[in-house]
């Protein structure tokens, strides 16, 4: 097929690396061939014509050329517009894979330069080296890793517009590029790879981008297991091996470390606003998790079986191993063939018995399944019934692996035990168990409230629980929690909502009886009061998950409040303090090991208060929660509900960890991974490893021994940028808790005053914008929010209310941000920065120097400013202006566009004054260049989308509207790929 002759110069001189330039040029040439084959030469020429017009418009500042592109698009038929969308979308899919390969190549180069990852920035090798050089003892470092409790949590939030089929094709392209760049590849091998890429791209161009139907929960569970049982499963042992290798290199030891990285999931358990997540679906999800874990462990045991060929005729078997084989033979006998083949190989016999036990469990899962009606569980066909807990469980499996480890060490095979397949298998068993990821359940506090009211009424305790004030509710709930009798009389029936919720609690109880670690937490959305947490505790008591007797509480479940709005964030510490002073709740904490998890919502707080107020409220809430937990002797774990975009709490996760207030730096952390974030971070093994090593490295730095001081960062500040250690920053922050009163000379009181003033100004500008009586009409006419609300990308509805007409108050934060991104304004990620920062600089003569100091010395402030300028760089108001035309009656820009543009100008001036940069995002030239190179291509997608929206609104023909709607879906997908929110 296509012959590759090397770079054609299209990307040269742009500042990107030679390898990336070559890959982009290759993929562009391949795509060009595919476009010509699929749509003809005229379409390929049109693609280039539009790209060049938009590129020249940007380079020359010539809006007329962008008008010419728009006019050209306006004259095209729908089939041609769809061909353009598919061509430009495919281009971004391919370029995104090339950029991933570039990330991997850069990190590999850094690793080669530093040796065993020691000098690669933000790596585990680097942080362990820094600890060693700072004088930390091995025991101190062991204690640090023993304290780590890192739990990424997968959710099905609807932010991934691509089908799994498309994701897999893109991943294969990335793998082909890796093969192509092998140093020892022969010309024949290179051409073979290029042929493979040709074929992949040709098929990609003919593959549906948009799902034919909205996915159901089972699709989302399967998607999550694709990553959990795939790249994530294979990456976690690599992270553990990285730690051991670093400890061996810098301390000459390889101590046993507990699992410090575990995964959780909401998918199949997130009931909040999703009527498709039923108790039956949750029961099926637990079974699917278990099946996936057993399948992978069986594969691991097969590999271990091949490795452990040690003969007792060469090395006598330890007595403990011999004894265990006798027990295993009775429980899980070997076939005659296996018994004969492994007669003199005790380790293989042991693994073969373990394999039989695992296979028996897998068979039991299938044999114990029952059919569930389509009405009950959508497309789910089989859900297991629960039998008695099996005799072989995850704990016994782990104990068997530990026995193999001890026996190998005892007989002189310590290196085999520590570095071979057994070490991997032990890590996997400890991390994933037989559940692969603990499943959280989430429900809205209002559903708990109504169900408790129904139970209390059925029991004759109170007829109007909903009408009680907070104090009366707490008194009643605590009294009933202490009362051992159930509320629901035998044979009594509940209304559908309450019955369904109680069924979910019964599912949780059954799963905990079988595999306790399979169940995560019960999360309460919209926690507005203390009673919101006591209500699900009472419901858990009703099914036997919670009890009070003899002055003690028995609890099998953690209850987690979720604080989401600005008001709730501000009240979070006070509410938790009230819980911590409750005698009954103190007993709940004691029953759960003294640990309390608290979840913070990033998306809704931003939608509620705007960018700066949300960030300030979240930071202050974290600090206050850390302090109140410390005051009451509670072990706190914060759960950060972060999205992929900056407007939903996104950005570099490791830097966000380092920017958290010192009061919550305790080694415990959870954070959500959702939508396009999952596919970006876990689509390729090397990207996943990089993501996780950055997370682990950051958390280690926050709890590093106090005597471990840092080297200076690359910018001269302590704990500076990507190449700088944050050990000193963490230590300095800890001192602040104990009395430090300044950041680089700016007093803490003054810092808090500046941040409060900035947030108030910013929120006032934001609320003035969105509370304008005419705003909602402008937003719905100027963005594709109507089509986004119909996009079949998730089982969960886009709105908490009726889907017939989306209203601002009911619109979820995800589509809210998504629509702003489509029109290239990206308002949730920066708007109000002009009014906030700019207003401070204009009116306070001392603010400029102080804010510059805070930017250099305070990680939190630096992260918020840098995230804002990242989103400002991605914004493109010359394109936003064209969406504004969709919503206005005359020729003049609307007042809303004027406000956005004015705030942008003030924000840009303020950011440059504070950072000392010459241009926005000068501090991140790689991303800056990527945005510049993408803009002409993205502009074409925007112009096509605008034309499609105009046609959609101009016709009443339902057939034509449906065809246009499908094309708009394609444009949404293409712009999402181009903007790469992650």
Catalytic residues: 157, 607
Backbone angles phi, psi at 369, to 5 degrees: -85, 150
* Other CB atoms within 10 A of residue 850 CB: 21
3-class SS of residue 227: helix
The burial of 403, by beta-carbon neighbours within 10 Å (0-12 exposed, 13-18 middle, 19 or more buried), is given as: middle
Contacts of 44 (CB under 8 A, 6+ apart): 32, 35, 36
441, β-bridge pairs:
522
Secondary structure, 3-state, 228-282: HHHHHHHHHHHHHHHHHHHHHHHHCCCCCCCCCECCEECCCCECCCCCCCCHHHH
Contacts of 180 (CB under 8 A, 6+ apart): 26, 190, 193, 194, 197
Backbone angles phi, psi at 488, to 5 degrees: -80, 120
595, β-bridge pairs:
635
Q: H or E stretch including 795?
A: none
DSSP for 342-390? TTT-HHHHHHHHHHHHHHHHHHHHHHTEEE--HHHHTT--EEEPP-SPP
**Nearest of 702, 631, 635, 709 to residue 667 by alpha carbon:** 702
Residue 44 sits at the vertex; the CA angle it makes with 23 and 970, to the nearest 5 degrees, is 80
Q: H or E stretch including 301?
A: helix 279-307
- Give the number of C-alpha atoms closer than 13 A to the C-alpha of residue 452, restricted to the C-beta side: 28
Contacts of 512 (CB under 8 A, 6+ apart): 518, 519, 545, 556, 557
* Other CB atoms within 10 A of residue 890 CB: 7
What is the Cα–Cα distance from 727 to 708, expressed in whole angstroms?
Answer: 7
**Nearest of 767, 745, 749 to residue 611 by alpha carbon:** 767
Radius of gyration of the chain (CA): 29
639, β-bridge pairs:
599, 670
Cα 378 to Cα 36, 41, 154, 283, 344, distances in angstroms: 42, 45, 22, 13, 52
Contact criterion met (CB below 8 Å) for 972 and 161: yes
């Amino acid at each position: 097929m296509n012959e590759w002759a090397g770079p054609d110069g299209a990307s040269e001189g742009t500042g990107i690396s030679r390898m990336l330039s070559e890959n982009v040029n290759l993929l562009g040439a391949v795509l060009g061939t595919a476009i010509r084959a699929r749509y003809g030469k005229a379409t390929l020429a049109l693609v280039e014509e539009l790209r060049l017009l938009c590129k020249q418009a940007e380079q020359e500042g010539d809006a007329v050329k962008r008008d010419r592109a728009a006019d050209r698009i306006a004259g095209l038929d729908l089939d041609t517009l769809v061909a353009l969308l598919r061509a430009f979308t495919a281009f971004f899919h391919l370029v995104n894979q090339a950029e991933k390969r570039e990330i991997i190549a850069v990190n590999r180069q850094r690793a080669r330069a530093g040796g065993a990852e020691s000098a690669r920035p933000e790596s585990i090798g680097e942080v362990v080296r820094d600890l060693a050089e700072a004088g930390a003892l091995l025991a101190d470092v062991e204690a640090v890793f023993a304290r780590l409790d890192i739990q990424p949590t997968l959710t099905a939030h609807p932010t991934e517009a691509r089908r799994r089929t498309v994701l897999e094709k893109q991943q294969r392209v990335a793998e082909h590029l890796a093969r192509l760049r092998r140093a020892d590849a022969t010309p024949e091998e290179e051409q073979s790879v290029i042929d493979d890429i040709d074929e992949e791209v040709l098929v990609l161009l003919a593959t549906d981008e948009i799902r034919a139907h909205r996915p159901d929960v089972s699709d989302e569970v399967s998607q999550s297991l694709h990553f959990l049982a795939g790249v994530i499963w294979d990456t976690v042992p690599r992270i553990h091996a990285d730690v051991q290798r670093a400890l061996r290199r810098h301390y000459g030891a390889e101590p046993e470390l507990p699992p410090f990285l575990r995964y959780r999931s909401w998918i199949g358990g997130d009931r909040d606003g999703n009527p498709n997540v039923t108790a039956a679906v949750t029961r099926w999800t637990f079974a699917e998790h278990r099946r996936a874990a057993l399948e992978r462990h069986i594969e691991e045991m097969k590999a271990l079986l091949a490795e452990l060929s040690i003969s007792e005729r060469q090395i006598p078997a330890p007595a403990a191993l011999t004894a265990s084989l006798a027990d295993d033979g009775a429980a899980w006998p070997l076939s005659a063939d296996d018994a004969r083949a492994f007669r003199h190989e005790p380790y293989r016999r042991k693994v073969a018995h373990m394999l039989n036990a695992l296979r028996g469990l897998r068979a039991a899962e299938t044999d114990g399944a029952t059919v569930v009606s389509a009405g009950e569980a959508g497309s789910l066909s089989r859900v297991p019934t629960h039998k008695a807990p099996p005799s072989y469980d995850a704990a016994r499996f782990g104990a068997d692996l530990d026995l193999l480890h001890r026996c190998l060490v005892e007989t002189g095979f310590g290196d085999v035990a520590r570095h071979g397949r057994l070490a991997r298998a032990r890590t996997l068993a400890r991390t994933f168990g037989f559940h692969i990821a603990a499943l959280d359940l989430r429900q809205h506090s209002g559903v708990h409230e109504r169900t408790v009211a129904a139970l209390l009424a059925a029991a004759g305790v109170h007829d109007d629980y909903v009408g009680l004030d907070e104090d009366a509710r707490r008194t009643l709930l605590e009294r009933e929690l202490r009362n051992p009798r159930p509320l629901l009389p035998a044979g009594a029936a509940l209304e559908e909502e309450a019955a369904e919720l109680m069924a979910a609690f019964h599912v949780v109880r059954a799963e905990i009886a079988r595999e306790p670690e399979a169940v995560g937490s019960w999360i309460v959305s919209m926690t507005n009061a203390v009673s919101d947490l006591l209500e699900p505790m009472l419901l858990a008591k009703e099914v036997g998950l919670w009890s009070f007797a003899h002055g003690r509480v028995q609890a099998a479940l953690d209850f987690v409040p979720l604080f989401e709005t600005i008001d709730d964030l501000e009240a979070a510490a006070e509410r938790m303090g009230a819980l911590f002073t409750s005698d009954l709740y103190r007993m709940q904490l004691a029953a759960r090991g003294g640990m309390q998890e608290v979840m913070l919502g990033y998306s809704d707080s931003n939608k509620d208060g705007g960018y700066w107020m949300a960030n300030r409220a979240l930071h202050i809430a974290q600090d206050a929660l850390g302090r109140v937990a410390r005051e009451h002797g509670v072990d706190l774990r914060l759960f950060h509900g972060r999205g992929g975009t900056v407007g939903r709490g996104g950005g570099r996760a490791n830097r966000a960890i380092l920017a958290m207030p010192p009061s919550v730096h305790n080694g415990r952390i959870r954070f959500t991974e959702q939508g396009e974030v999952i596919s970006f971070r876990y689509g390729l093994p090397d990207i996943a490893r990089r993501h996780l090593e950055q997370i682990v490295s950051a958390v280690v730095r926050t709890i590093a021994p106090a005597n471990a001081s840092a080297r200076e960062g690359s910018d001269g500040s302590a704990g500076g940028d990507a190449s700088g250690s944050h050990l000193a920053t963490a230590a300095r922050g800890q001192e602040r808790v104990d009395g430090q009163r300044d950041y680089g000379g700016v007093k803490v009181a003054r810092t808090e005053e500046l941040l409060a003033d900035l947030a108030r100004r910013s929120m006032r500008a934001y609320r003035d914008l969105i509370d304008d009586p005419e705003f909602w009409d402008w937003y719905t006419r100027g963005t594709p929010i109507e089509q986004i609300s119909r996009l079949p990308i998730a089982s969960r509805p886009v709105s908490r209310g009726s889907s017939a007409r989306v209203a601002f108050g009911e619109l979820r934060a995800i589509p809210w941000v998504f629509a702003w991104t489509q029109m290239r304004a990206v308002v949730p990620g920066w708007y109000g920065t002009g009014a906030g920062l700019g207003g401070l600089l204009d009116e306070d003569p001392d603010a400029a120097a102080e804010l510059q100091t805070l930017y250099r010395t305070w990680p939190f402030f630096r992260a918020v400013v840098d995230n804002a300028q990242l989103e400002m760089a991605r914004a493109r108001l010359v394109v936003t202006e064209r969406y504004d035309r969709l919503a206005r009656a005359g020729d003049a820009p609307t007042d809303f566009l004027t406000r956005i543009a004015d705030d942008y100008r003030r924000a840009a001036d303020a950011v440059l004054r504070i950072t000392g940069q010459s241009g926005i995002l000068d501090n991140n030239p790689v991303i800056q260049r990527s945005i510049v190179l993408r803009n002409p291509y993205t502009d074409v997608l925007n112009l096509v989308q605008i034309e499609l929206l105009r046609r959609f609104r101009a016709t009443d023909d339902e057939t034509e509207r449906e065809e246009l709607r499908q094309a708009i879906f394609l444009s949404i997908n293409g712009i999402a790929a181009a903007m790469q929110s992650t």
